[in-house]
Each structure stands twice: as C-alpha cells, then as structure tokens.
Structure 1
Amino acid sequence: MKIGVLALQGAVAEHLRMLEEAGAVAVSVKKVEELYDLDGLVIPGGESTTISKLMHKYGFMEAIRQFGEEKKPIFGTCAGAILLAKQINGQDDYHLGLMDIKVERNAFGRQKESFEVHMPVAGVAADYPAVFIRAPYIMEVGESGQVLAKYEDKIVVARNGHYLAAAFHPELTEDTRLHKFFLDMVKEYRS
C-alpha cells in the first residue's frame, strides 16, 4: 500500500514516519503526477490558507478533487480537515470541498492554548492521545457521515465514506492507531 503525504507545508515528516510504522509505503507528494500511483493521501496540519494557496499555485486543487472522486481515501488532519470540508463557518468559499462536513477554524484557541488529551475514538481506541494546536472542530457531519470522536461535545474526528478528518494532530504522538484505521479504509476501497 502506497500512501502519499501532501508535502507543501505542515507536519509532513511526522505523517510519513507514522504511516511507515503503521505498515504503509509512505511518500511525500510535491508534484501532481506523484498522486497517480497512490492508494491514499494524507493532507497534514499546518496553515490551511497557506496550503490552499500552494495547492492552487502547483495545480493540486483539481488533481486532489479527481483523486477523491476516484474513491481513493483522503485523511485530513487539523488544517487538512479544513481543506477537505464542504463548508467553513463564516466563509462563503471552501478549499477542496470534498467531505460533507462544516468546520469552525481555530475553535480551541490560539497556539499558547494548545493541549493534549486522551479520548475515545470509535473503531480506533478507548484512550487515543490527541494533540490540539490551533485546532478546528467539526460543527456538522452530513447524513452519510459518522462521528468517531467528540471532545467537550465538539466533533473532532469524522468519517464520510472514503474521507477521514481529525481536528487534532495524530502525527505528533507515538500512537499509530488512527493511521492504521486510515490504512484499513484504504484496503476497504482497494478491494
């Protein structure tokens, strides 16, 4: 299984390490043509506006939309979740608009208010370590979506078919269980 990590900005090396530890062949993706032989894609945390501008500049917007339309799984973490969302609260536009979720940006405060908490994630763990850094949260999940985790009554992990979004940074822990969950999704859509 070959999984790409969009390598325009953000926690790329950390996701590559976690995917390798979870059992995948992981590659950084810096050019559109590198998407073509992948089984899945991770869009990492970072700064969603910056990543979006770089995606436009290097032609990734349509290429990633097509990747998703081909039912290839995409996992967005923190900024990646914002990039995947069909709706961003308070904004008329969206970035990729692939996943039927509505997100609130910077919902847990500023950088200095970052925190880590252990919480249950359905199908993943009863005690998953979640690192929140200027994290969004998911306000709404479409009818066909599943809420996998909440923190303080806010949705922080959701799945919608072959899309997975986490408001926090699973790559900043030593716990590969959420990445393994994504790899299971990839297997499910390969068969």
Structure 2
Amino acid sequence: MAKIGVLALQGAVKEHIQQIETLGHDAVAVKTCDDLRGVDGLILPGGESTTIGKMLERNDMVEPIKTLAQQGVPMFGTCAGLILLAKNIKNSNPPHLGLMELEVERNSFGRQIDSFEVPLSIPSIGDEITAVFIRAPHIVSVGEHVEILATYEERIVLARDGQFLGCSFHPELTDDVRILEYFIGMVNEFIKVSR
C-alpha cells in the first residue's frame, strides 16, 4: 500500500484523498513539512497557483518538496499543481518549484465561466477519459525528455517528465480513476527501487 500525500493548502484536496482511498492506498493531507515525512508520492491539486505558491513559501515547504524530488519521489500536478511544477510560466514571475522541464501558460482555456468537459483518448492510459477544464493552463513547450501523453485542440494537456506528471485538467472531479492509477503505478515503481 502506497502512502500518497495531497498538498492541502487550497483546492480539490478532499476529492483526491477520496480517490486514493478508493484505490486502497493511504492518503495524507499535507499542510506542513512534517506531513511530508514518509510519503511515497505527492499530488499538487488545482486551486490558485499564486496563492498556493505563497503559502508554500510562508510554510517553508518549497525546499522540503524539492528535497523529496531529489530523492525520486513521484509528483502529480493537476491544473494549478501543473503550474507549480513547471520550470517556466509564460508571461509570469519566476517558477514556484521549477521541477518539470516545460513551460505553461495560465488560463489558456478561458475564465471560470468558460469551464467545459471533453472526452480524451490517452494512448498510454485509455479512451473516453473525461477531462474537466476549469481556468486551465496548457503546456506550451516541453524539454527533450518529456513525454507528451495527451493533447486537446493541438495544445498539450498531459505530460510526464520522469517522476513528474503534469495535467491541465481535473481528473479528480470525475469518477474515472485511470489517470490516478497511472500515477500510482509511477509511485509503485519508485517504492520497488527505493526499498
């Protein structure tokens, strides 16, 4: 059983925790550095990336999360979480964590009122996966080792950079757990190697 932390400073924390527990794993709400101890994976959920970034700094959590990354701990960012993980944010301030070799653009699918759902085919995960876009960013460009997993309207919306998974949309807001299962597969790979 994997122990997966969910950054619990803002956003769809409860939904992620419920899905992790539905799949039979241990979920931990991460609010402080102490909560990071012993996690096998970390999810950075949606919300407002600037606010979450400021809270990470205020709670002195940036360096501990980077240390986990250096140890190989898999991390999954959804929507704002993707922005937190990105090395570059188009037309914006410096990156928050700067762990994924990609550039993102905020709110590239419109405002809250423009939210929508579409079915996506993700070859390495499955077909007819409902993607919920809410003030979603998209991935503008990726480093040479980054694997593009899904696009929508020629924009990259799901990518993997080694131990990092970044997603423009909100898989936790549907009953479909296949993307989370994919991430837990990454976590299980890490557990095998590290123990």
User: Normalising TM by the smaller chain, what interval?
Assistant: over 0.9
Partner of 1:143: helix, strand, or coil?
Answer: coil
Aligned length: 191
What is the CA distance between 1:157 and its match in structure 2?
0.2
After the TM superposition, which residues 89-108 of structure 1 pair with which residues of structure 2 at under 5 Å, given as runs? 89-108=90-109
Partner of 2:188: helix, strand, or coil?
Answer: helix
Q: TM-score, normalised by structure 1?
A: 0.98
* 4+ residue segments displaced more than 2 Å: none
In structure 1, distance between residues paired with 2:121 and 2:58: 38
In structure 2, distance between residues paired with 1:30 and 1:92: 24
Partner of 2:107: helix, strand, or coil?
Answer: coil
Q: Which one is further off, 21-30 or 79-88? A: 21-30
Amino acid at match of 1:132: F
Amino acid at match of 1:136: P
Partner of 1:83: helix, strand, or coil?
Answer: helix
1:56 alignment counterpart: 57
In structure 1, distance between residues paired with 2:183 and 2:124: 11
In structure 2, distance between residues paired with 1:96 and 1:105: 16
Partner of 2:64: helix, strand, or coil?
Answer: helix
Partner of 1:52: helix, strand, or coil?
Answer: helix
Q: Where does structure 1 lack aligned partners over 5 or more consecutive residues?
A: none
In structure 2, distance between residues paired with 1:176 and 1:137: 21
Amino acid at match of 1:167: S
What is the CA distance between 1:92 and its match in structure 2?
4.7
In structure 2, distance between residues paired with 1:25 and 1:92: 35
Amino acid at match of 2:178: R
What is the CA distance between 1:100 and its match in structure 2?
0.6
What is the CA distance between 1:101 and its match in structure 2?
0.9
Q: Where does structure 2 lack aligned partners over 5 or more consecutive residues?
A: none
Partner of 1:27: helix, strand, or coil?
Answer: strand
Q: Cα deviations across residues 132-183 of structure 1 (Å, max 9, x unaligned)?
A: 0000000111111100000000000000000000000011000010000000
In structure 2, distance between residues paired with 1:23 and 1:148: 25
Partner of 1:102: helix, strand, or coil?
Answer: strand
In structure 2, distance between residues paired with 1:87 and 1:25: 32
Amino acid at match of 1:95: H
Q: Cα deviations across residues 4-62 of structure 1 (Å, max 9, x unaligned)?
A: 00000010000101111223211101110111210000000000000001000001111
Partner of 1:174: helix, strand, or coil?
Answer: coil
In structure 1, distance between residues paired with 2:152 and 2:113: 19
Q: Cα deviations across residues 60-115 of structure 1 (Å, max 9, x unaligned)?
A: 11111111111000000000000000000112511100011100000000000000
In structure 1, distance between residues paired with 2:62 and 2:180: 24
Q: Which one is further off, 151-160 or 91-100? A: 91-100
1:121 alignment counterpart: 122
Partner of 2:124: helix, strand, or coil?
Answer: coil
Contact 1:22/1:179, CA 8 A, preserved across alignment:
no
Partner of 1:183: helix, strand, or coil?
Answer: helix
